[in-house]
Amino acid sequence: MLTVISPAKALDLSPVTTSTTRPAWQDDATYLAGLMQKKSVDEIRKMMDLSEDLAQLNRDRFLAFASAPTPDVEKPAIFTFNGDTYQGFDAPTLDAQALSYAQGHLRILSGLYGMLRPLDAIQPYRLEMGRRLQTSRGTTLYAYWGDRIARALNDQAEEMGTEFLIDCASQEYFKVIDRKALQLMVITPTFLEIKNNVGKTVSFYAKRARGAMARFVVENRITDPADLRAFNVGGYKWDPASQPGKPVFTRPSPTA
């Protein structure tokens, strides 16, 4: 199966020695970075709702973005993103075999790069998928990427002989996958915290759980969606009332 996750705003730029691969849409990333290079600090601040300091940092990163980057300015995506989902996935503790499997079966959606494999080398950036940006294809990144990501997923799934896509991404990012073009059955896990017999999605916990689920799929080489029911990381348990394609996992709220 293929699994997709979102990128993260937080980045870990400490060096690693893992070998890298090239992003499929490096030229697109260079084009989009070029558009961002033309924006002032204030324009970036307003566009991304950032502080002055963060806007300056991200403008500097776009200005430094290279079309043919050298190894000292790039790093594998799975080790660069450092948000809650990546804390749950915990790539640094994966063994070499699991990391190799992830390279073939895990995809990271990206506003700048479109879609990445775990070991694709990226440069530091911040460009959320939901932000408006005038490009040659429209006023949003959804319009820019169009159906390309869906078609790429179709092709990759066909190569590996699967018809399933596990959605461990946020709604903002999964929206970039054109569902009309996508030919795969989508499996979307939901994670609920139970308090006073009521289930609630808590963003922080859900993000970590999605990362943990992606790792579970990689470590266990999951090929059948039914096998997701065994997921029990962090105290979650599969809810027998789950609907087809929408497995629900619950646990007592940590704050209960």
pLDDT for 46-68, tens place per residue? 999 999 999 999 999 999 999 88
Confidence (pLDDT) at 37: 97
Distance CA(173)–CA(171), nearest Å, equals 5
Does residue 211 contact residue 89 with C-beta atoms inside 8 Å?
yes
**What is the per-residue burial (b if ≥16 Cβ within 10 Å, else e) of 181-219?**
ebebeebbbbbbbeeeeeeeebeebbbbbbbbbbbbbbe
Q: Cα–Cα distances in Å, from 57 out to 50, 53, 117?
A: 10, 6, 26
Domain of 63 in residue numbering reads as 2-252
Token pair for 185:
């059955």
167-205: per-residue pLDDT in tens? 999 999 999 999 999 999 999 999 999 998 899 999 999
Per-residue confidence (pLDDT) for residue 110, from 0 to 100: 99
Q: How far apart are CA 217 and CA 209, in angstroms?
A: 12
The dihedral formed by the CA atoms of 20, 79, 236 and 227, expressed in degrees to the nearest 10: 0
Q: What is the pLDDT of residue 68?
A: 84
What contacts 72, CB < 8 A, 6 or more positions away? none
Q: How far apart are CA 227 and CA 121, in angstroms?
A: 32
Confirm if 1 and 222 have CB atoms less than 8 A apart: yes
Q: What is the pLDDT of residue 71?
A: 84
Count of domains observed in the chain: 1
Residues of the chain with pLDDT under 50: 256
Phi/psi region, residue 142 (left: phi>0; alpha: psi -120 to 50; beta: rest), is alpha
